[in-house]
Amino acid sequence: MKQAVYILLFVFFVCEVFAIDGNVNKQECIREASVNPALVEKAYNGQVSNVRQLQCYFKCYYENAGYMDAEGHIQPEKLKANIPTGVNKVMANKAIDLCKDRKGKDSCETAYVVQKCLLDNSIQF
């Protein structure tokens, strides 16, 4: 039961950090990446499709939120600084540390593989 609570809290963390940020306009990133909004919503519910437009949506989001710099490097300290209240910080920090160095062939793919890693590893805590 305790593990289930941690899993739910971690999923909440991923959605909170990557989906709901007052400084990022999701609709702007949807337009910029030309991604189907349904794919974005599915991704925030844990169903992340390996589609180029979704990858570039995550890049736009990460850059606008400050989680990725202009060269495509993930900024783990920015992620850690934005862990929402109520989320197990130890669990979230471990997941960020595990995923922060994932790289794709470009910044779109890097944002995607980091997002996918965070979602995939949430069940291990």
In tens, the pLDDT along 69-107 reads 999 999 999 999 988 777 788 888 999 999 999 999 999
DSSP string across 12-79: HHHHHHHH--TT--HHHHHHHHT--HHHHHHHHTT-----HHHHHHHHHHHHHHTSB-TTS-B-HHHH
Structure confidence by residue, pLDDT tens digits, 38-49: 999 998 888 899
**Domain CATH for 61:** 1.10.238.20
Range of the domain at 12: 2-123
Q: Could you give the CA distance from residue 77 to residue 64 in angstroms, rounded to a whole number?
A: 15
